[in-house]
Chain A
């Protein structure tokens, strides 16, 4: 277990759902039986369409969603934190070590606080620093690392562009000196040239501060560029997982193949090569039994069409796992 930072073991997250007060209570299976290990210092990518459970899994790992079954373990240097039954004191400690960067830099920053106060807030809430002077020092230090102008610390967020705001959010997430960062669609709202800038910054900070990322995104080309390991999610299940280059060069699952072919190619001569998936992602209220992808699968086998094959990952190459339905 030495080189893993996070172990996710058989984790499922369910939500209760009741359409109205007389109807029957139902369960939404947002995340089903997930097993992942995130290595120290890695850039772990999680891709999938909306409704696939990426964000729920990210939040479960941060201890922000209740885990219905299974467990998440954070391997710190001195001790392990088991998030399934964690007490308040430990959860506070854990929060210093695991932080979140949000998608929308316009909504994530309070318009009434100065940039300095925004970045300093985690230090004050977690009681990490003892004096105002120490807080200021930490804030200035992290702001410089995130390439923010020190002079800008006295301003309010409205004075900044989207890219600068995202740098403020990153500085706030990093100020408590965490080891693990969940970046949830952190570049989705940005223009391409700013997106490139923020991705380069995240990469740079990773080596400088020894960070481990869980990078959640729907954009495969972005994930392919920055991540070492990628897991593809569909309807609460991981359908394929492996080293990023191997997975994108040699995708095995038909969903991954369809996703890759759907990326609009920059070459105008290569039009319409997309494997078109019919229909849309089914509701998580009653997912299809067996392979969850079979209702949209372009080439289902006879067995999986009937839903007789259960979901489960098989290792096809060292480190490259594919759902067994698509391997058969």
Chain B
């Protein structure tokens, strides 16, 4: 069976005044229907750039490599150039939820009008139908007084409610793939728990594929089926969520887990990963993590080991340099 989304050997580079920056290098991922793929990593690891590539939303100075493929529903998105084709994916087959819902709604247009507008673009329906779909969707995500909220502006809603409205808007076109970029980061924990449960319910109900981007491993543990751990534009480890969180192999994944304060184990010291994330302008050759790796092997340290994912358990892939270092630590 073919995957809903398959990303193969994707490189994303940006041309800037200071030179060509590699934001993402040689990434391969896949998402099936009804499955949640979590992408974790620190800021600057290329999580959002990867997601935006799927909708070709990266800025004009972006270049993709020739042999990369992003296959969505049997079509290569990277080949799309016409507005007509791009419209099919942006908001049609793929929808996106962002971190800051205040910034993603237009402030001077009513929420309802924004929801209706996108439905009219993507679906062959009239205004009244669009309105009733929107109001039903607002009700579905748990907004009380949906009719009243439909005629309000984004600033009149609270943070949690705005994020619900954002989710309703993203889902009303019935996308096949949902990209959620840090959708709960700006929310309080109790609201975050509500939104996570809502997203899980909706995935089950509509059987869509989801890419869930976050820096919070706890959130990943709660929502994802599979996880990809990114560092400086490369996937260093990927696999089923249980494997990655309970049996991590790569020193970076281990480091992330050790830096996390665990409320059930207050005696464990917080151990930060030493050093700073290098600038993408001088990206290390060979293993990208070698400048901060606490257990580097001699060859990996010199950058002689190329990045390559190897399957260590069924479905659990780890960068080959990291396998060796992981055994040392």
Contact = CB atoms under 8 A, between A and B. Distances in A.
B42 interface: yes
Contact of A258 (B160, B190, B241, B276): B190
A259 B190 contact: yes
B159 A50 contact: yes
Interface in A167-206: 191-197, 199-200
A224 B219 contact: no
Nearest to A199: B270
A114 B294 CA distance: 33
Interface in B252-273: 255-257, 259-263, 266, 270-273
Nearest to B275: A193
B261 A224 contact: yes
Interface string B172-203: 00000000000000001111111011000000
B238 to A, nearest CB: 15
Given A264-B221, A264-B222, A268-B245, A195 B259 contact: yes
Nearest to A270: B221
Contacts, number: 118
A105 B161 CA distance: 28
Contacts of A267: 221, 245-246
B104 interface: no
Nearest to A195: B259
A50 B162 CA distance: 15
B266 to A, nearest CB: 6
A91 interface: no
Interface stretch (A62-70, A76-84, A274-282): A274-282
A280 B221 contact: no
A195 B242 CA distance: 25
A10 interface: no
Interface of B is mostly: helix
B2 interface: no
Interface residues of B, number: 42
B221 A49 contact: no
B82 interface: no
Contacts of A258: 190
Given A200-B270, A218-B188, A224-B266, A274 B193 contact: yes
A272 interface: yes
Given A50-B159, A225-B266, A248-B263, A192 B221 contact: no
Nearest to A194: B272
B194 A276 contact: yes
A263 B189 contact: yes
Contacts of A248: 263, 266
B102 interface: no
Nearest to A248: B263
Interface string B210-239: 000001111101101000000000000000
A42 interface: no
Contacts of A161: 276-277
A122 to B, nearest CB: 27
Given A259-B189, A262-B192, A193 B266 contact: no
B96 to A, nearest CB: 22
A245 interface: yes
A238 to B, nearest CB: 17
Contact of B270 (A162, A196, A272, A280): A196
A183 to B, nearest CB: 15
A142 interface: no
B143 to A, nearest CB: 11
A266 interface: yes
A272 B262 contact: no
Given A264-B218, A266-B257, A268-B245, A196 B271 contact: yes
B158 interface: yes
A265 B190 contact: no
B221 A268 contact: yes
A151 interface: no
Nearest to A222: B261
A220 interface: yes
B241 A268 contact: yes
Contacts of B262: 221, 266
A149 B168 CA distance: 49
B327 interface: no
Contacts of A199: 261, 270
A127 interface: no
B263 A193 contact: no
Nearest to A197: B272
A221 B261 contact: yes
A9 interface: no
A225 B215 CA distance: 19
Contacts of B42: 191-194
Q: Which of A50, A162, A200, A264 neighbours the largest number of chain B CB atoms within 10 Å of its CB?
A: A264
Nearest to B222: A264
Nearest to B161: A280
A261 B255 CA distance: 25
A274 B277 CA distance: 34
A277 B161 CA distance: 14
Q: Which of A196, A221, A263 neighbours the largest number of chain B CB atoms within 10 Å of its CB?
A: A196
Contacts of A49: 188-191
A33 B197 CA distance: 36
Contacts of B218: 263-266
Which 5 pairs, one residue from A and one from B, show the smallest C-beta to C-beta distance?
Answer: A264-B218, A197-B272, A196-B270, A49-B188, A193-B273
29 contacts: A49-B190, A161-B277, A162-B43, A163-B276, A192-B42, A192-B259, A193-B255, A193-B256, A194-B42, A195-B259, A196-B261, A218-B188, A260-B263, A261-B193, A262-B190, A262-B193, A263-B218, A263-B263, A264-B193, A264-B221, A265-B218, A265-B222, A266-B217, A266-B245, A266-B262, A268-B241, A271-B221, A276-B193, A280-B160
Given A266-B245, A277-B190, 20 more contacts: A49-B189, A161-B276, A162-B43, A163-B276, A193-B256, A218-B188, A221-B261, A221-B262, A224-B261, A259-B190, A262-B192, A263-B189, A264-B193, A267-B246, A268-B242, A268-B245, A271-B221, A276-B194, A277-B193, A280-B160
